[in-house]
Amino acid sequence: MGLVDQFLQLERELPADWETARLRLTVPDDGDCARAAALLGPLNPGRRGKLVHFLSSRRGGGFGPDRIRSLLRRLDSEQIDGQLELAGVETATAASPQEAWTLATAWDEAVVGLPPDWSDAFVEVELPSSDYVEPGALRLSPLNPTRDGSPPLFRFRVARRFGYGGSPEMARRCLERLDEAGMTGQVRITQALSDTNPVKTQGPVLYSGGKPI
Protein backbone atom coordinates (compact mmCIF):
# COMPACT_ATOMS: atom_id res chain seq x y z
CA MET A 1 0.00 0.00 0.00
CA GLY A 2 1.35 3.42 -0.96
CA LEU A 3 2.00 6.12 1.61
CA VAL A 4 -0.90 8.29 0.46
CA ASP A 5 -3.28 5.35 0.87
CA GLN A 6 -1.82 4.62 4.30
CA PHE A 7 -2.40 8.23 5.31
CA LEU A 8 -5.99 8.13 4.06
CA GLN A 9 -6.57 5.05 6.18
CA LEU A 10 -5.11 6.76 9.24
CA GLU A 11 -7.29 9.82 8.59
CA ARG A 12 -10.40 7.64 8.76
CA GLU A 13 -9.30 6.41 12.19
CA LEU A 14 -8.82 9.90 13.67
CA PRO A 15 -11.48 11.22 16.08
CA ALA A 16 -13.86 13.83 14.71
CA ASP A 17 -12.44 16.54 17.00
CA TRP A 18 -8.74 15.91 16.30
CA GLU A 19 -6.48 18.96 16.21
CA THR A 20 -2.93 17.64 15.81
CA ALA A 21 -1.72 14.23 14.65
CA ARG A 22 1.87 13.07 15.22
CA LEU A 23 2.97 10.74 12.44
CA ARG A 24 5.86 8.29 12.29
CA LEU A 25 7.24 6.96 9.00
CA THR A 26 9.54 3.94 9.05
CA VAL A 27 11.66 3.51 5.92
CA PRO A 28 13.86 0.36 6.00
CA ASP A 29 16.36 1.54 3.38
CA ASP A 30 18.78 4.20 4.69
CA GLY A 31 19.07 5.97 1.35
CA ASP A 32 15.32 6.04 0.87
CA CYS A 33 14.89 7.29 4.43
CA ALA A 34 17.23 10.21 3.80
CA ARG A 35 15.39 10.99 0.57
CA ALA A 36 12.01 10.77 2.34
CA ALA A 37 13.15 13.24 4.99
CA ALA A 38 14.34 15.61 2.25
CA LEU A 39 11.06 15.42 0.33
CA LEU A 40 9.14 16.04 3.55
CA GLY A 41 11.39 19.03 4.31
CA PRO A 42 8.58 21.63 4.29
CA LEU A 43 7.12 19.85 7.34
CA ASN A 44 10.40 20.27 9.27
CA PRO A 45 10.48 16.53 10.06
CA GLY A 46 12.71 14.95 12.64
CA ARG A 47 14.75 11.89 11.74
CA ARG A 48 16.27 9.22 13.93
CA GLY A 49 17.79 6.27 12.12
CA LYS A 50 15.11 4.77 9.90
CA LEU A 51 12.28 6.83 11.49
CA VAL A 52 10.94 10.16 10.23
CA HIS A 53 8.57 12.12 12.50
CA PHE A 54 6.26 14.95 11.43
CA LEU A 55 2.96 16.62 12.30
CA SER A 56 -0.35 17.30 10.66
CA SER A 57 -2.37 20.07 12.26
CA ARG A 58 -5.75 21.64 11.62
CA ARG A 59 -4.66 24.86 13.30
CA GLY A 60 -3.81 28.03 11.43
CA GLY A 61 -0.24 27.97 10.15
CA GLY A 62 -0.06 24.18 10.42
CA PHE A 63 0.18 21.55 7.72
CA GLY A 64 -3.24 20.09 7.09
CA PRO A 65 -4.12 16.73 5.54
CA ASP A 66 -4.14 18.12 1.99
CA ARG A 67 -0.54 19.28 2.31
CA ILE A 68 0.52 15.98 3.89
CA ARG A 69 -1.06 13.99 1.06
CA SER A 70 0.64 16.19 -1.53
CA LEU A 71 4.08 15.58 -0.04
CA LEU A 72 3.52 11.86 0.47
CA ARG A 73 2.49 11.61 -3.17
CA ARG A 74 6.03 12.73 -4.07
CA LEU A 75 7.43 9.84 -2.03
CA ASP A 76 5.09 7.41 -3.78
CA SER A 77 6.18 8.75 -7.16
CA GLU A 78 9.79 7.87 -6.27
CA GLN A 79 8.69 4.41 -5.09
CA ILE A 80 9.87 4.94 -1.53
CA ASP A 81 8.51 2.08 0.57
CA GLY A 82 7.67 2.63 4.19
CA GLN A 83 5.20 2.12 7.00
CA LEU A 84 3.21 5.15 8.16
CA GLU A 85 1.83 5.06 11.70
CA LEU A 86 -0.04 7.38 14.03
CA ALA A 87 2.28 8.17 16.96
CA GLY A 88 -0.21 10.32 18.86
CA VAL A 89 -3.15 12.66 18.53
CA GLU A 90 -4.45 15.71 20.39
CA THR A 91 -8.14 16.51 20.27
CA ALA A 92 -9.70 19.95 20.59
CA THR A 93 -10.63 19.26 24.21
CA ALA A 94 -7.33 17.72 25.24
CA ALA A 95 -5.18 20.28 23.43
CA SER A 96 -6.85 23.39 24.87
CA PRO A 97 -4.74 23.89 28.02
CA GLN A 98 -1.10 24.15 26.92
CA GLU A 99 -0.01 23.28 30.46
CA ALA A 100 -1.41 19.76 29.94
CA TRP A 101 0.90 19.10 27.00
CA THR A 102 4.41 17.81 27.31
CA LEU A 103 7.14 20.33 26.62
CA ALA A 104 8.28 18.32 23.60
CA THR A 105 4.76 18.46 22.15
CA ALA A 106 4.59 22.19 22.85
CA TRP A 107 7.83 22.53 20.87
CA ASP A 108 6.34 20.57 17.97
CA GLU A 109 3.31 22.87 17.97
CA ALA A 110 5.47 26.01 18.06
CA VAL A 111 7.61 24.82 15.14
CA VAL A 112 4.53 23.95 13.06
CA GLY A 113 3.51 27.60 13.24
CA LEU A 114 6.80 28.81 11.72
CA PRO A 115 7.18 29.49 7.98
CA PRO A 116 8.60 26.57 5.96
CA ASP A 117 11.91 28.35 5.32
CA TRP A 118 12.66 29.32 8.93
CA SER A 119 16.35 29.18 9.77
CA ASP A 120 16.91 30.67 13.25
CA ALA A 121 14.75 30.89 16.36
CA PHE A 122 15.01 32.34 19.87
CA VAL A 123 13.20 30.15 22.38
CA GLU A 124 12.02 30.60 25.96
CA VAL A 125 11.20 27.78 28.36
CA GLU A 126 9.34 28.94 31.46
CA LEU A 127 9.16 26.53 34.40
CA PRO A 128 6.56 26.87 37.16
CA SER A 129 8.94 26.65 40.13
CA SER A 130 12.44 27.74 41.07
CA ASP A 131 12.94 24.16 42.28
CA TYR A 132 13.26 23.23 38.60
CA VAL A 133 16.06 25.70 37.83
CA GLU A 134 19.11 23.58 38.61
CA PRO A 135 17.82 20.24 37.23
CA GLY A 136 16.35 22.11 34.27
CA ALA A 137 19.66 23.81 33.51
CA LEU A 138 21.39 20.43 33.55
CA ARG A 139 18.95 18.86 31.10
CA LEU A 140 19.01 21.90 28.79
CA SER A 141 22.80 22.31 28.95
CA PRO A 142 23.48 21.03 25.38
CA LEU A 143 21.55 24.12 24.16
CA ASN A 144 23.72 26.53 26.17
CA PRO A 145 20.70 28.20 27.84
CA THR A 146 20.89 31.58 29.57
CA ARG A 147 18.92 33.12 32.43
CA ASP A 148 18.35 36.80 33.15
CA GLY A 149 16.65 37.65 36.44
CA SER A 150 14.77 35.69 39.04
CA PRO A 151 11.93 33.96 37.14
CA PRO A 152 12.59 30.28 36.34
CA LEU A 153 13.00 31.11 32.67
CA PHE A 154 15.59 29.77 30.23
CA ARG A 155 16.42 31.20 26.81
CA PHE A 156 18.35 29.57 24.00
CA ARG A 157 18.87 29.73 20.26
CA VAL A 158 18.04 27.13 17.66
CA ALA A 159 19.65 27.05 14.21
CA ARG A 160 17.98 24.87 11.63
CA ARG A 161 20.69 24.64 8.95
CA PHE A 162 23.86 26.34 10.24
CA GLY A 163 25.01 29.07 12.60
CA TYR A 164 24.62 29.69 16.31
CA GLY A 165 22.37 27.52 18.46
CA GLY A 166 21.36 23.92 18.87
CA SER A 167 19.61 21.93 16.18
CA PRO A 168 15.79 21.54 16.24
CA GLU A 169 16.27 17.84 16.98
CA MET A 170 18.55 18.61 19.94
CA ALA A 171 16.07 21.19 21.26
CA ARG A 172 13.28 18.62 21.18
CA ARG A 173 15.42 15.97 22.87
CA CYS A 174 16.37 18.35 25.69
CA LEU A 175 12.71 19.19 26.23
CA GLU A 176 11.95 15.47 26.30
CA ARG A 177 14.50 15.18 29.11
CA LEU A 178 12.52 17.75 31.10
CA ASP A 179 9.34 15.76 30.41
CA GLU A 180 11.02 12.56 31.54
CA ALA A 181 11.92 14.26 34.84
CA GLY A 182 8.27 15.20 35.37
CA MET A 183 8.79 18.91 34.76
CA THR A 184 6.01 21.08 33.36
CA GLY A 185 6.06 24.56 31.88
CA GLN A 186 5.62 26.53 28.70
CA VAL A 187 7.63 26.79 25.48
CA ARG A 188 7.59 29.96 23.38
CA ILE A 189 9.38 30.93 20.17
CA THR A 190 9.77 34.66 20.68
CA GLN A 191 11.78 35.49 17.55
CA ALA A 192 12.34 33.67 14.28
CA LEU A 193 14.18 34.41 11.04
CA SER A 194 13.63 32.88 7.63
CA ASP A 195 15.94 32.02 4.75
CA THR A 196 19.08 33.60 6.24
CA ASN A 197 22.23 33.36 4.15
CA PRO A 198 25.27 34.39 6.24
CA VAL A 199 28.30 35.75 4.40
CA LYS A 200 31.62 35.39 6.25
CA THR A 201 29.80 34.85 9.54
CA GLN A 202 28.26 31.94 11.41
CA GLY A 203 24.80 33.43 11.55
CA PRO A 204 22.62 36.44 12.38
CA VAL A 205 22.81 38.29 15.68
CA LEU A 206 19.58 38.56 17.68
CA TYR A 207 19.01 41.26 20.30
CA SER A 208 16.89 41.23 23.43
CA GLY A 209 16.66 44.37 25.57
CA GLY A 210 19.45 45.92 23.53
CA LYS A 211 21.81 43.01 24.26
CA PRO A 212 23.02 40.43 21.73
CA ILE A 213 21.85 36.91 22.42
pLDDT averaged per 10 residues in sequence order, the chain, 213 residues: 94 88 92 93 82 79 82 95 90 53 85 82 88 90 85 89 84 92 87 72 59 57
- Asked if residue 111 and residue 71 are part of one domain, the reply reads no
Query: For residue 207, is it within any domain?
Result: no
Query: For residue 201, is it within any domain?
Result: no
- Asked if residue 131 and residue 108 are part of one domain, the reply reads yes
CA distance 5 to 28: 19
- Asked if residue 41 and residue 78 are part of one domain, the reply reads yes
- Asked if residue 117 and residue 85 are part of one domain, the reply reads no
Which residue from 83, 21, 78, 96 is spatially nearest to 52, judged by alpha carbons? 83
Query: For residue 209, is it within any domain?
Result: no
Count the domains in the chain. 2
- Asked if residue 26 and residue 52 are part of one domain, the reply reads yes
- Sequence-distant (6+) residues with CB within 8 A of 51 are 24, 25, 26
Q: For residue 90, what pLDDT is reported?
A: 82
- Exposure letters 102-124 (e unless 16+ CB within 10 A, then b): bbbbbbbbbbbebeeebbbbbbb
Residues pairing with 48 in the sheet: 51
Range of the domain at 121: 98-196
- Asked if residue 89 and residue 103 are part of one domain, the reply reads no
- Asked if residue 148 and residue 111 are part of one domain, the reply reads yes
Q: For residue 61, what pLDDT is reported?
A: 47
**What are the Cα distances from residue 75, in Å, to 38, 42, 50, 84?**
10, 13, 15, 12
CA distance 36 to 73: 11
Do the Cβ atoms of 119 and 158 come closer than 8 Å?
no
Q: For residue 31, what pLDDT is reported?
A: 93
Indicate which CATH number applies to the domain containing 85: 3.30.70
Query: For residue 213, is it within any domain?
Result: no
Q: For residue 28, what pLDDT is reported?
A: 94
- Asked if residue 123 and residue 62 are part of one domain, the reply reads no
